[in-house]
Amino acid sequence: MALRHAVLAALLDGELSGYQLAKAFDVGVANFWYAQPQQLYAELTRLQQQGLVAGREVVQESRPNKRLFHVTDAGLAELEDFTAASARPVFVRDDLMVKVQAADSVDTATLIDQLTERAEIARARIELFEALLRRLRGDRSEEDFLRHGDRIGPYLTCLRGIAFEQENRDWCLRTVAVLEERRHTRARN
């Protein structure tokens, strides 16, 4: 059960409604996990039943009412246990990689398009993440912030998000370059 803990970790930053949480997870600005709104609403309900989060109804006039959730002491204890338990390494698991693996046997035209598009998406995310980093550290330098800041978890995970997307972008562009050169070479022969 990983989503549970991702939700708990996300709620450490303060009270959030399901909708706000969904936005954070959706943009990937949460950058350490991704989940869809439906999952989050369901998970919040479960977590509340188990007493790991508590919600309070906020009545709004010009908008639908919402429930704001925060982590309870039991939730914190659960996170503590989770952190102490060991985690297995992860793999990339990307459809694009499967396609590239098969690149020698299939038409590469659309593949090149997809890689280019993916590089662009990665670029956009890097920008987004970098803006988030700046916001998190305020006017401090990164080094200073990481040494003395109160809440560095999100900053550290965001650093990884950026590194991942950079690697992503660079690999896509490199692969496009290789595939395109081969197309031209073949065309000439």
Partner DNA sequence: GTTACCATGTAAAGAGTTACATGATTTG
Partner DNA sequence: CAAATCATGTAACTCTTTACATGGTAAC
- Judged by the rule CB under 7 A, the positions of this chain that interact with DNA are 1-4, 17-20, 22-23, 34-39, 41-42, 44-45, 60, 62-67, 88, 93
* Whole-number Å distance between alpha carbons of 109 and 179: 9
Q: Which is nearer to DNA, 99 or 137 (CB)?
A: 99
CB of 50 to DNA, least distance (A): 12
Which of the listed partners (its own copies, DNA, none) does 28 bind, with a CB threshold of 5 to 8 Å by partner kind? its own copies
Express the helix, strand and coil content of the chain in percent, nearest 5 each: 65, 5, 30
Closest separation in Å from C-beta 93 to DNA? 6
Would you say 55 or 149 has its CB closer to DNA?
A: 55
3-state secondary structure at position 57: strand
Supply the minimum distance, in Å, between the C-beta of residue 66 and its own copies. Answer: 23
Q: Which does 114 bind (CB under 5 to 8 A by kind): its own copies, DNA, none?
A: its own copies
Least distance from DNA to the Cβ atom of residue 65, Å: 7
The residue assigned the tokens 């890689």 is: 115
Q: How far is the CB of 51 from its own copies (least distance, A)?
A: 17
Nearer to DNA, 32 or 155 (CB): 32
For residue 63, the number of C-alpha atoms closer than 13 Å in the C-beta half-sphere is 7
- Is residue 118 within 8 Å of 126, Cβ to Cβ? no
Nearest to 113 by CA among 180, 188, 185, 181: 180
- Residue 184, contacted partner among its own copies, DNA, none, CB below 5-8 A by kind: none
Instruction: Count other C-beta atoms under 10 Å from residue 54's C-beta.
Output: 17
